[in-house]
């Protein structure tokens, strides 16, 4: 590791996207004058583009594929039919060269300062040992293996071991409540569980052994439990296999272990949607689609092998909870041969004494060259007056990444100025937007394009992204629905349990058959850059972690003192947001006792991230004629939209409530503009 305080300036490498363009010219005879020319070709000629990515990235298959993709309209597209590969096998193709160059696979650190570096060969040995343990316990291709783990190396080992066997990985973060975890895993019926007995977060040791026991009791499908022991667990977990022992095997069988060759579309992992309109959707992604999309994505992320001269010593970090798709993106750095840096803990220390330099200190100690986080993290650093010049060693960082919510332009300019002051003028920001649905990006960065504060630099190669108006017409310089008009390889294979595919089609293809509707408000600017105005559905996004409103309602509306609720998340110009919960009380006033009960219910069932910032006593909850809560219209009112454009009395079953909500929104906006603190708890 780089010693603390060491300042090392790493020159910018030749951009990966330029190397790809040079290869296209030499190997395919294709020369593109501008990025937009390249992008247009990539979506007009999907066969030619994705075939080039396959070849350029060196993807191997022991069997030939019949075609790059079928002509079936989405969601029936088949990719590389006949090909075989394996996510883990594609990772470990880098092992020999990386070890020879003394470049680790993983550098990990926890909040208390403990750290570990794992070499590629050692990672492969641990993965093989765990895979053989799972196989001995009856895990076969197609079985689901659940993980209840934070952002630690054990989670990476678990994913790669499952991928090696053809088992399907499904992960939930330990900061999720037991009820939320069960809502997900009851659908997918895991056969084995890899769990942690406790975590250390924000200065506190937190027991998770009781949660593990409850999950196990509620899921009789779990036949095997492997336990990561931390010393934070209050109780023993009976009949659990020690994870450390399961990964410690070192013999000829381990050395000879090879990941299975699997069909291109064999399931790799199951991710979960936020549960906006009911149970979270169990989204299944395949080995091939993820490998292929990541191969194209590394051109945008500008990630190359840490052992090659051009990107020697590169270290990729994206601060993420393990349950966020950015954890999967960070692990995907291994597919590029890049060292990944994991941080487990609070980015700001304790709540009582927050310190927003902690993650930057980790970056210095780990030698991070590529630093990503949710947009809210950068906003908090700016608000806290964090001075990066006081943290020696940050000049190694050559790229900053942001996602989770739109990054305000002033926050990006602040970060650029901070890095200019430490000798990194014009630092590149890779702002990206994609999601759990595709485990990749639709909008991304490009180090060869101009700086665009508050925007995303470009549309992703191979992603036919457009902004459509209500009539389904593409628009430029005008906000519209983000759509993808042609197939993208990491779109879901299916939803688990959705036998006829109806829930999948309804989720993304109901508005325009054969066209993917992503659920974001998008503006494509005439220069090719893009802005996201937020979700067009009702998902709550808190610091990059998404949760559906339905799950929040399920957590609080069982309380006897509550008759009805509605929640909205209102963002401000600084990138922060306020989570407002409208409460219709049943038999008592909205007071501190009710506030405490609601907070406890959400912490227990979901996560502390989704505890409301403000309770507002309401005379009723506005609903559509079909009975749905009108979250989006009310959110838009509080975001400053004109009432005439977002609420219509003839479209609601409760027109009598609209004047009250319009008045409250206008009051909220006045107080925000004046800087006054809002005290609306008695607004009824």
pLDDT of residue 608: 86
Q: Which of 168, 435, 455, 75 is nearest to 276 (CA)?
A: 435
Pick from 354, 361, 508: nearest CA to 435: 508
Tokens describing residue 391:
């943290």
The reported pTM is 0.85
- CB-based contacts of 43: which residues, under 8 Å, 6+ apart? 49, 462, 463, 464, 486
Q: What is the DSSP letter of 456?
A: B
How far apart, in whole angstroms, are the C-alpha atoms of residue 257 and residue 124? 9
For 370-380, write each residue's pLDDT tens digit: 999 988 889 88
Average pLDDT, integer, range 462-468: 97
Q: In the Cβ-directed half-sphere of 171, how many Cα atoms lie within 13 Å?
A: 26
Supply the pLDDT for residue 678: 39
What six digits make up the tokens of 111? 């909040």
pLDDT at 3 over 90: no
Each residue of 282-318: pLDDT tens digit?
999 999 999 999 999 999 999 999 999 999 999 999 9
- Cα(135)–Cα(260) distance, integer angstroms: 12
Q: What is the band of 573 on the pLDDT scale with cuts at 50, 70, 90?
A: low
| Calpha distance 226→245 (Å, rounded) | 10
Q: How confident is the model at residue 684 (pLDDT cuts 50, 70, 90)?
A: very low
What mean pLDDT is predicted for residues 317-338? 95
- Residue-wise pLDDT for 163-195, tens only, equals 999 999 999 999 888 888 999 999 999 999 999
pLDDT at 677: 41
HEC string for 57-126: CCCCCCCCCCCCECCCCCCCCCECCCCEECHHHHHHCCHHHHHHCCCCCEEEEECCCCEEEECHHHHHHH
In this prediction, residue 274 carries a pLDDT of 67
SS3 assignment, position 680? coil
Q: How far apart are CA 474 and CA 315, in angstroms?
A: 39
pLDDT class of 10 with cuts at 50, 70, 90: low
Pairing mode, strands 516-524 and 480-484 = antiparallel
Question: Which pLDDT score is estimated for 380?
Answer: 86
The model's pLDDT over 114-160, given as tens digits with 9 standing for 90+, comes to 999 999 999 999 999 999 999 999 999 999 999 999 999 999 999 99
- Find out whether 232 and 205 touch, Cβ atoms under 8 Å: yes
Q: How far apart are CA 54 and CA 27, in angstroms?
A: 13
Q: Is 60 exceeded by the pLDDT of residue 680?
A: no
- 582-593 residue pLDDT tens: 999 988 888 999
pLDDT digits (tens, 9 = 90+) for 398-442: 999 998 777 888 899 999 999 999 999 999 999 999 989 999 999
Q: What is the pLDDT of residues 70-82, one digit of tens each?
A: 977 899 999 999 9
Angstrom distance (rounded) from CA 521 to CA 568: 16
Distance of CA 541 to the CA centre of its chain: 11
622 class by beta-carbon count within 10 Å (0-12 exposed, 13-18 middle, 19+ buried): buried
The phi-psi region of residue 312 (left if phi > 0; otherwise alpha if psi is between -120 and 50; otherwise beta) is: beta
Rounded Cα gap, residues 105 and 110, in angstroms: 17
Strand partners, 169: 145, 269
Name the average pLDDT for the chain.
91
pLDDT band at 650 (very low <50, low <70, confident <90, very high): low
- Cross-strand pairs, 65: none
């Amino acid at each position: 590791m780089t010693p603390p305080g060491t300042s090392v300036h790493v020159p910018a490498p030749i951009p990966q996207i330029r190397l790809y363009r040079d290869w296209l010219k030499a190997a395919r005879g294709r020369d593109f004058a501008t990025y937009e020319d390249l992008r247009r070709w990539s979506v007009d000629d999907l066969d030619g583009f994705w075939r080039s990515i396959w070849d350029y990235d060196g993807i191997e298959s022991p069997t030939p594929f019949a075609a790059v993709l079928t002509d079936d309209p989405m969601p029936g597209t088949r990719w590389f039919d006949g090909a075989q590969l394996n996510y883990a096998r594609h990772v470990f193709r880098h092992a020999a060269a990386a070890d020879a160059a003394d470049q680790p696979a993983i550098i990990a650190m926890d909040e208390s300062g403990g750290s570990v570096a794992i070499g590629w060969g050692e990672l492969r040995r641990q993965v093989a040992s765990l895979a053989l343990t799972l196989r001995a316990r009856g895990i076969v291709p197609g079985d689901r293996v659940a993980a209840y783990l934070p952002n630690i190396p054990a989670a990476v080992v678990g994913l790669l071991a499952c991928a090696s066997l053809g088992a399907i990985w499904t992960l939930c973060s330990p900061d999720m409540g037991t009820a939320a975890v069960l809502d997900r895993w009851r659908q997918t019926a895991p056969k084995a569980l890899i769990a942690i007995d406790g975590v250390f977060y924000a200065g506190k040791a937190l027991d998770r052994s009781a949660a593990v026991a409850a999950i196990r009791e509620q899921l009789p499908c779990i036949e095997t439990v492997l336990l990561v022991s931390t010393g934070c667990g209050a109780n023993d977990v009976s009949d659990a296999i020690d994870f450390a022992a399961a990964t410690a095997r070192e013999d000829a069988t381990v050395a000879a272990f090879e990941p299975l060759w699997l069909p291109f579309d064999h399931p790799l992992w199951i991710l979960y949607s936020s549960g906006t309109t009911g149970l979270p959707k169990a989204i299944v992604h395949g080995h091939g689609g993820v490998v292929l999309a990541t191969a194209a994505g590394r051109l945008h992320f500008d990630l190359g092998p840490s052992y090659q001269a051009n990107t020697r010593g590169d270290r990729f970090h994206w601060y993420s909870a393990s349950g966020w798709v950015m954890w999967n993106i960070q692990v995907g750095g291994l597919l590029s041969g890049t060292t990944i840096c994991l941080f487990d803990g609070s980015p700001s220390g304790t709540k009582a004494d927050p310190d927003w330099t902690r993650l930057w200190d980790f970056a210095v100690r780990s030698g991070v060259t590529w630093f990503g986080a949710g947009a809210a993290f950068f906003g908090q650093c700016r608000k806290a007056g964090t001075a990066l010049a006081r943290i020696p060693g940050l000049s190694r960082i050559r790229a900053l990444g942001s996602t989770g919510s739109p990054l305000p332009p002033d926050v990006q300019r602040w970060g650029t100025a901070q890095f200019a002051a430490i000798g990194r003028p014009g630092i590149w920001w890779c702002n990206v937007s994609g999601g759990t649905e595709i485990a990749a990006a639709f909008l991304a960065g490009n180090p060869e394009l101009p700086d665009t504060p508050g925007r995303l630099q470009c549309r992703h190669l191979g992603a036919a992204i457009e902004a459509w108006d209500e009539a389904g017409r593409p628009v430029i310089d005008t906000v519209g629905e983000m759509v993808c008009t042609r197939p993208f390889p990491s779109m879901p294979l299916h939803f688990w349990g959705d036998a006829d595919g109806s829930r999948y089609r309804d989720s993304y293809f109901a508005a325009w058959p054969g066209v993917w509707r992503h659920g974001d408000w998008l503006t494509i600017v005439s220069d090719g850059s893009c802005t996201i105005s937020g979700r067009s559905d009702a998902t709550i996004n808190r610091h990059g972690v998404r949760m559906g409103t339905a799950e929040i309602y399920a957590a609080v509306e069982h309380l006897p003192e509550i008759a009805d609720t509605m929640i909205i998340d209102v963002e401000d110009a600084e990138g922060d947001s306020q989570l407002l919960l409208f409460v219709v009380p049943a038999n008592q006033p909205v007071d501190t006792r009710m506030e405490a009960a609601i907070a406890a219910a959400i912490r227990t069932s979901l996560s502390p991230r989704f505890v409301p910032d403000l309770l507002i006593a309401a005379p009723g909850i506005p609903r559509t004629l079909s009975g749905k809560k009108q979250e989006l219209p009310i959110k838009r009112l509080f975001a400053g939209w004109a009432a005439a454009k977002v609420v219509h009395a003839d479209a609601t079953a409760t027109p009598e409530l609209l004047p009250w909500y319009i008045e409250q929104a206008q009051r909220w906006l006045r107080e925000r503009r004046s800087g006054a603190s809002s005290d609306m708890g008695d607004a009824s």
